[in-house]
Chain A
Amino acid sequence: MLFNSLDFAIFLPLVFICYWFLFRWNLKAQNTLILLASYVFYGWWDWRFLSLIAFSTLIDYLIGIGLGKEENTYKRKLLLTISICINLGFLGFFKYYNFFLDNFIDAFQLLGVPFKASSLKIILPVGISFYTFQTMSYTIDVYRKKLIPTHDWIAFGAYVSFFPQLVAGPIERATNLLPQFSEKRVFDQNKAVDGLRQILWGLFKKMVIADNCAEYVNIIFNQSESLSGSILALGAVLFAFQIYGDFSGYSDIAIGTSRLFGFQLMQNFAFPYFSRDVAEFWRRWHISLSTWFRDYLYIPLGGSRSGLALSIRNTFIIFLVSGFWHGANWTFIIWGALNAVYFLPSLLLGKNRNNLDVVAQESRWPNLRELISMLFTFGLTSFAWIFFRAESMSHAWGYVQNMMQPSLFSIPDFHILEGVISLMVLIVIFILIEWNGRRRQYAIMDLAASRSRMFRWCMYLLIILAIDIFGNTSEEIEFIYFQF
């Protein structure tokens, strides 16, 4: 079920009403409702893969209990290994089997050894990378004794399959989300209104910004061999806004929906395009994944405390794995590597923790230095997005080659992109709203502070109208991160 669908528009109020009117006095009943609703939500896409989530949930639930009882270090390690192998085994099979097979065949052929094997037609279960990492965080935290294992299988099942963030995150740590299933939830008018407001903003980002950018991005990337450098550069910039609007829009809807049910999820995007360097960008982009890799991979590898050489190695590992997590394609690996290269100078100069605060914290507008830093960082990330968006390495390389022509400095021929000017006007308005709200959790959160109900409601109506008029409402377009 998609957030931007009529099905969800009916599903959400129904679950909300049952949750707060029928089951508000019984925590277990509320959790059961969330579990059932989550399975319906996921099964709407393909009910066959419910068994996969159910199995993963059961394994980690039982292993969690086992880890809680077991004191023997060897046996504890064994239990953790079983959990990780099963979770990564599923992920590896469904997501990476064909990639490895194809690359083995290519490698053997390069060596002159004939190697024949046929790839399998595997359907990638939606959101598998997200819920796999979520369940793994539970087992690892129980193993590290940071978390007491739960004996409430309904709460645990609801935690793994929690429908607002099931298919595209934020990847919640068990330490944050699981205890919330054990606490009595009381309806809070302010939280619910705030949730609705964040959902509205998420829908705007997805349907107005991302889906409209997608239209032009598809044209530009599909015809990249025949377009001028300046149009290709515009394509990269539009994709930067598409992926931000799409993914952060999803996160906003997920966080807002959770608030309606009394849950607090972590912030997943903190205005990353206002970052002054790449290190800051990665503290603000897909925060739940970056911090997951930091806590469960980077730090166990030694982090930055084991000398410069190991720090560089660990940085590259993190970025390459992060790229590979997104998809079984060399383009994602190169995207990760490129970001590691971008990150390296600040690591070597010890400046990777320079910009920890919000840009122009005390002023309305950035100074020239900040502005140039932000534009430079945005340029670097937009360039890297080309590899992320391209179908293959040859496509990405061809795109970059065609872009780096003298025509890069020509005025783009907008005739082939009818309507792109109005989209650019919308993007400028969007940037200004985001800039204005950059100190908050999401851009229009400040509206809550406005005392005038008339003003607030006018703003909501304007956003709804913008979604209706400029949003692509004729078809339900999937979120990009569903494929990961």
Chain B
Amino acid sequence: MKMAQLTPAGTIHPFPRSGLQVFVESQSGQRVLRCYQCGKCTAGCPSAYAMDLGPRRVMRAIQLGLKDEVLASSTIWLCLQCQTCSARCPAEIGIAEVMESLRLLAAAERSRPAERDVALFHRLFRDLIRRWGRIYELGLGALYNLRGRHPFANLGLLPHLLSRGKLPLLPQRTKGASQVRAIFARVRAAEREAPPPEAKEGTDASRQ
């Protein structure tokens, strides 16, 4: 195996592209190999302190094709999509988009999320939009507490929000709701027809 090859574009490919990297690049449109590990992403990331792998290490793990490590990390769930990393990356990689593509991969592979509550929150949010066409805050809070088996979470603010009329008791109704349900259904059908490329273990030597 050749260890390095100068491509016509002038970029060095030290490794064959891993299946993970192929998936991430096709879904996010970002060129992961451009990352040279400067660490600005992790330095500016507001939630990096709570992650097991910082964004910089996730970028390296993608280059190396370490799919299981990446999907098991808390990082992909603790990314707030604030885009600070993308804004500051000197290699101009949209790192936040990379993180989003990893969440899509986690969903496609049904991998066990390291941050169960974050994944649950997103799922309930989507379910409520599909049902009502708009978000229903009180319903979201109630479902989250029941399904997540933490019935007393976030209750401290409730009286303040209710007394100021900030939390409507009933969901907003919109005639758009049935169209939103149809959009969800058609998206699902389109994605069944043309699923994203599989992120296989190991590397894709044909790209060498």
Same complex = no
**A residues near B, CB below 8 A?**
none
Chain B interface (Cβ < 8 Å from any Cβ of A): none
